[in-house]
Amino acid sequence: MTTVSEHAPNPAAGDPSRPIGFGRIQRKEDPRFVRGRGNYVDDIVLPGMLHGAILRAPVAHARLLSIDASEALAHPKVVAVITGKDLEALNLAWAPTLSADVQAVLVTDKVRFQGQEVAFVVAEDRYAARDALELINVDYEFLPPVIDARKALDDGAPVIRDDLPGRTDNHIFDWEAGDAAETDAIFASADVVVAQELVYPRVHPAPMETCGAVADYDTVDGRLTLYETTQAPHAHRTLYAMVAGIPEHKIRVVSPDIGGGFGNKVGIYPGYILAVVGSIVTGKPVKWVEDRSENLMSTSFARDYIMQGEIAATKEGRILALRTNVLADHGAFNATAQPTKNPAGFFHIFTGSYDLAAAHCKVTGVYTNKAPGGVAYACSFRVTEAVYLVERMVDILARKLEMDPAELRLKNFIKPEQFPYANKTGWVYDSGNYEPAMRLSMEMAGYDELRREQKEKRERGELMGIGISFFTETVGAGPRKHFDIVGLGMADGAELRIHPTGKAVVRISVQSQGQGHETTFAQIVAEELGIPPEDIDVVHGDTDQTPFGLGTYGSRSTPVSGGAVAMVSRKVRDKARFIAAAMLETRAEDLEWEKGRWFVKGDPSAGKTISEIALGAHGTLTLPDGVDGNLDAEVTYDPPNLTFPFGAYICVVDIDPGTGHVKVRRFIAVDDCGTRINPMIIEGQVHGGLTDGVGMALMEMISFDEDGNCLSGSFMDYLIPTAMEVPDWETGFTVTPSPHHPIGAKGIGESATVGSPPAVVNAIVDALAPYGVTHMDMPCTPARVWEAMQGRTRPPV
């Protein structure tokens, strides 16, 4: 494979603000989905397939004394019961996580969170498998749990990870970025310093489809086929090879249609491994599909950062510095998905959109008796937390300075001429033009009019709030020199094949979970080669059929894989030039490209379309030396930097003073993700992300009682917005292309989830200003808002 690191300009590029490849076209994915003809994991049925179910721990912390599975095994439909002891014999009781920790596949020594996997039943149907769970008897010795992260490092706190050699406490890591001394010096002499503790509570991505797998191990040739809900099939294949000892060329991981991922489906869960073990043990395919409560209780949570934020400024409102200490609750196993060198992800983008003199952050990770996770739910590797921190702190500063929050932001933005901009914690922002986006958002909102309305309403005792969030994202990990997942560099491959009749297939290493890749990646090829999108098939998700790459999360598909697809198209275009020259009996240098066609300079009538060139490439034409037949190419794209999309969001809320109920009346979202491939799909991504953000701000939370019982393990208690809780979204955009990206495009998928929660909370706090409220933590439920209005401490959720 060729590694392409040079960034040839796109000769077809004209106006950078023009959408790519026919722009707002409808999706190729839709026809099967609207007919119920998608193919999700639980739709898969294989001959002789058995069903697995997991027995889960009823408590958060307990020593496992014994498991008696004899009654379950006597059930006429039960084929196997697998326990931790069985896995120990296979050396599979523990599996490596994406954070250089290990995670129990099945409990061997003790339970470390409620809902943890204890035993696996394989039966002839899913009802029998569930019946048999009731027949397994387990003895536990209960241990005191650690639930509050603030107490995890106390002297005498129970040691959760006594499986780790020499481990005597619950500390996982300390990580810092920026210059502490420089930052402290600025704080010491600043006119104004404001501090606030901000809790970003534990939430859950809760994709509509839960996690599941169908494992099919062929005992004759030792080949494993694994259909999985995975966002990163190639990385999974490599990890299975490393863990299970099955040679990688004999493992095929297939990620079929996925019913939403949202970061929930990046890592490897015990259930996947158990399906594989079940198939190896029984010699038959084994399906495992979790139910919603299992998904919420045991798969990757998101957030759970307790942040001590501080901001320093001059009295005129020049923001000077930010610093923060973060306590990160990682649950019982550190399974957080992020690049190896970044245990706190990209949290150090917390300097935001502002030109600061100094910044410093320190993050401390701790174990608690809860499910593992942390990085999920459209966080872009902790950018949600970073943006929430800076955008809340700027708002709190605005209140302190008695300045309008929009004005304070406008005053402190990084200026367009400062890009590429090196911030104080090691990032180089690629491009940005913040003020026009902010102005557009304010204009769409009718900002001044809203403030007038608010003033009038306040005089009448009505509670109306206006919240602003201006964010800078960092997406598209990343340059392989700096970013890897368990040692695998974060580059992405692409292969493009043009058939003799001019139809094309492009194989990509990333995996859609609804983001429309089958449509938009065809559009990139269409733009580069002039082939209509309907003549281009996009293949993804099958490791036997696609080039190696790291998968879809962190909004990295467009920045990395999109770059790969543009570059592979250009490689084909360059090859087509030589073939066209042979066909036209001229020299390649004499040809000029117009979309879809090479023609003779000065004689536009003499030319060959890509379709004609494809036929020539597969024909009997004598080709110049060094040019082989056919019209195919492959590349691995190693991006030179991440992309830094940004946005200006304004939220308007009305609060019922009697009940504390928050109504999001309007939400204005201006996003800039550089060149826009398909504006229709971008808008859909933004609508979805804004709904996540409103959900997190108002209602979503995974909470626990002091014994470690998960109190929100179903959709009865883990509330996500319905059509009733969200407004009609108002979206706008500006276009500031990424200078280093082959088509100028930046990622966008997570921007709205990242950017919207602080806008909602800022609006709520703004509405409650007459009550003297300066901050409240999410979720801003009616009970919490009402309590805040009473000047009381917050109730448990």
Under rule CB under 8 A, which residues in 696-715 are in contact with another protein?
714-715
142 counts as binding another protein under rule CB under 8 A: no
Binding another protein (rule: CB under 8 A), the pick from 144, 619, 629, 679 is 679
Q: Cis ω on the peptide bond leading into residue 479 (within 30° of 0)?
A: no
444 counts as binding another protein under rule CB under 8 A: yes
Binding span for another protein by CB under 8 A among 28-36, 243-251, 368-376, 446-454: 28-36
**Would you give the DSSP letter of residue 416?**
G
Alpha-carbon dihedral angle through residues 773, 778, 783, 788, given to the nearest 10 degrees: -10
Alpha-carbon dihedral angle through residues 412, 414, 416, 420, given to the nearest 10 degrees: 170
Least distance (Å) from another protein to the CB of residue 500? 26
Least distance (Å) from another protein to the CB of residue 240? 25
Distance of CA 748 to the CA centre of its chain: 11
45 counts as binding another protein under rule CB under 8 A: yes
**Which residues between 291 and 320 bind another protein (CB under 8 A)?**
291-293
Least distance (Å) from another protein to the CB of residue 211? 13
Query: Would you call 767 helix, strand, or coil by DSSP?
Result: helix
User: For residue 754, what are the contacts with CB-CB under 8 A and spacing of at least 6?
Assistant: 378, 379, 380, 383, 384, 387, 471, 473, 689
Least distance (Å) from another protein to the CB of residue 228? 15
Least distance (Å) from another protein to the CB of residue 42? 7
Closest by Cα among 670, 654, 645 to 442:
670
Q: Which helix (H) or strand (E) holds 189?
A: helix 180-189
**Which residues between 617 and 676 bind another protein (CB under 8 A)?**
676
691 counts as binding another protein under rule CB under 8 A: yes
How many other C-beta atoms lie within 10 A of the C-beta of residue 315?
A: 10
User: For residue 561, what are the contacts with CB-CB under 8 A and spacing of at least 6?
Assistant: 492, 494, 508, 509, 510, 521, 549, 552, 637
Paired tokens of 217: 């191990």
Least distance (Å) from another protein to the CB of residue 318? 28
Least distance (Å) from another protein to the CB of residue 791? 34
Beta carbons of 491 and 637 less than 8 angstroms apart = yes
Burial class (CB in 10 A: 0-12, 13-18, 19+), 782: middle
Q: Which is nearer to another protein, 33 or 142 (CB)?
A: 33
**Bridge partner residues of 80 (DSSP):** 122
Q: Which is nearer to another protein, 259 or 660 (CB)?
A: 259
27 counts as binding another protein under rule CB under 8 A: yes
Binding mask 733-752 for another protein (x = CB under 8 A): xxx-----------------
Least distance (Å) from another protein to the CB of residue 62? 25
753 counts as binding another protein under rule CB under 8 A: no
Q: Which is nearer to another protein, 292 or 480 (CB)?
A: 292
Binding mask 445-484 for another protein (x = CB under 8 A): ----------------------------------------
435 counts as binding another protein under rule CB under 8 A: no
Q: Which is nearer to another protein, 421 or 729 (CB)?
A: 729
76 counts as binding another protein under rule CB under 8 A: no
Q: Cis ω on the peptide bond leading into residue 533 (within 30° of 0)?
A: no
**Which residues between 231 and 260 bind another protein (CB under 8 A)?**
257-260
Q: Which is nearer to another protein, 351 or 472 (CB)?
A: 472
Binding another protein (rule: CB under 8 A), the pick from 347, 388, 413, 729 is 729
89 counts as binding another protein under rule CB under 8 A: no
**Which residues between 394 and 433 bind another protein (CB under 8 A)?**
none
Inter-axis angle of helices 233-244 and 270-282, nearest 10: 60
Could you give the angle at the alpha carbon of 418 between the alpha carbons of 413 and 419, nearest 5°?
Answer: 105
Least distance (Å) from another protein to the CB of residue 307? 26
Binding span for another protein by CB under 8 A among 182-190, 346-354, 724-732, 781-789: 724-732
Binding another protein (rule: CB under 8 A), the pick from 1, 8, 32, 603 is 32
User: Position of tokens 């042979």?
Assistant: 582
Least distance (Å) from another protein to the CB of residue 121? 18
Closest by Cα among 778, 629, 655 to 202:
778
Paired tokens of 590: 């004499």
503 counts as binding another protein under rule CB under 8 A: no
Query: Would you call 397 helix, strand, or coil by DSSP?
Result: helix
Binding span for another protein by CB under 8 A among 135-143, 324-332, 511-519, 653-661: 511-519
Least distance (Å) from another protein to the CB of residue 232? 17
46 counts as binding another protein under rule CB under 8 A: no
Inter-axis angle of helices 447-459 and 434-445, nearest 10: 50
Q: Which is nearer to another protein, 83 or 295 (CB)?
A: 295
**Type of residue at 518:** E
Binding another protein (rule: CB under 8 A), the pick from 84, 207, 489, 549 is 207
Distance CA 89, CA 428 (A): 49
How many other C-beta atoms lie within 10 A of the C-beta of residue 159?
A: 15
**Would you give the DSSP letter of residue 310?**
E
Q: Which is nearer to another protein, 432 or 639 (CB)?
A: 432
